[in-house]
Structure 1
């Protein structure tokens, strides 16, 4: 029997359909959140169901997560994204001890145990410089989309970005460009600055085991390499890292379905 997890974030809404008995992923979907998180959740779930060939009434359980989870009337249960990213990461990479999640509006470092339970976590939700929003600012300045930024950063030599605030960093970036620093070097510098902030965040929890990188920025290969370099170790990245939270939510839905069968 199929179950589903729906993760409505600030930038994108994700849905994963699982087989309740095997925990195999039947389908997944991702849509922009836009201004209506409820509709984005509905659309993501509808799309995932269509991909799986499943009618929504056939879903035995649906778990919602993400900042927009309170807007999902179809969810049987809602759970924080911290819990769901932890479960999803350990399911994908059983050796995971630390989950690093960088989303559009916040970033998190989560210490987990072998069964995916959260042991500790820290979050940056106060400063845009430690989130995907920082790259959106850079994207606007350089006139590149995020994928093009990643390619540019992969070619560049990191310029020094010293500002710890996204607003001041924007001024610093404009100044560097005016001095003739290449866009590639600026992009590489911003990537390194963001990676250093993430490493600093992770040092506030007990770090053991493997690192698993989730969220939208994990889709950027050059940034993942930069993060690995700053950590001094390889980070695990799933094929679809944005779906990790929705996968964790679906795993909770499967657990609930089994308990009530």
Structure 2
């Protein structure tokens, strides 16, 4: 069976093509102001990579904040179900799933069968989402892809006291003026965000085998900071974690009766 999963998010729209349990195509574009156009473009990119046509798709699953705009979908999946399904697709033993995207983050606790036991969502404050890292990167004049590696090389923890992205940016500017090394500031930024995500995980009661999805999972400095805060050895990150919800939608569509 061939299915597609489309995740229309606040920043990016992602599509995954699944054939007999394997990812054979993917596409990602900026969502922008025209959700319908972004959905269509990401789907076409994924179809082209998979070497198939849209009529070859048995089902299309839709998810994300813009799920209602996915007119191509004949099956819809809520965000929580999508990320849990994706986590179990990649790591069948996963019991806690963390998804950190551009605008919000989620932590979900599952039982051994993958059923949701509890969850927490941060959608009110940018300080707990990828937008926080982007804003701090602009203040540091440092590309996102460099921040993780810089933080990874730091062995000098510096606490950040601000709990708001706006005040945190002022704090970063102060650290820059104080001539603090850039790698140490990067670590402080990622440590601060990891602390917020770790608090959310503790709130639901973390199980072992934590899986992380979302674009922020591509940041090695953040993953290290999260492990350090939770005092654990491993956080499992699949290949292409930014496509997690789209994968979950495609898998759920394939499993639908």
Asked if structure 2 preserves the Cα contact closer than 8 Å seen for 1:94 and 1:114, the reply is no
Residue equivalent to 1:253 = 253
CA distance in 2, matches of 1:131, 1:64: 22
Residue equivalent to 2:95 = 97
Alignment of 1:101-112 (within 5 A): 101-112=99-110
Asked if structure 1 preserves the Cα contact closer than 8 Å seen for 2:14 and 2:26, the reply is yes
Unaligned runs of 5+ in 1: none
Alignment of 1:156-175 (within 5 A): 156=154, 157-175=156-174
Alignment of 1:55-66 (within 5 A): 55-66=53-64
Residue equivalent to 2:44 = 46
Secondary structure of 2:112's aligned partner: coil
CA distance in 1, matches of 2:141, 2:176: 13
Secondary structure of 1:119's aligned partner: strand
Secondary structure of 2:81's aligned partner: helix
1:140 is aligned, of 138, 141, 144, to 138
- Determine whether 1:3 maps to 2:11: no
Residue equivalent to 2:18 = 18
CA distance in 2, matches of 1:203, 1:231: 9
Unaligned runs of 5+ in 2: none
Question: Once the 2 structures are TM-superposed, how far is the Cα of residue 144 of structure 1 from its aligned partner?
Answer: 1.4
Residue equivalent to 1:83 = 81
CA distance in 1, matches of 2:81, 2:46: 22
CA distance in 2, matches of 1:66, 1:202: 21
Question: Once the 2 structures are TM-superposed, how far is the Cα of residue 169 of structure 1 from its aligned partner?
Answer: 0.8
Residue equivalent to 2:66 = 68
CA distance in 1, matches of 2:242, 2:147: 18
CA distance in 1, matches of 2:113, 2:50: 27
TM-score by length of 1: 0.94
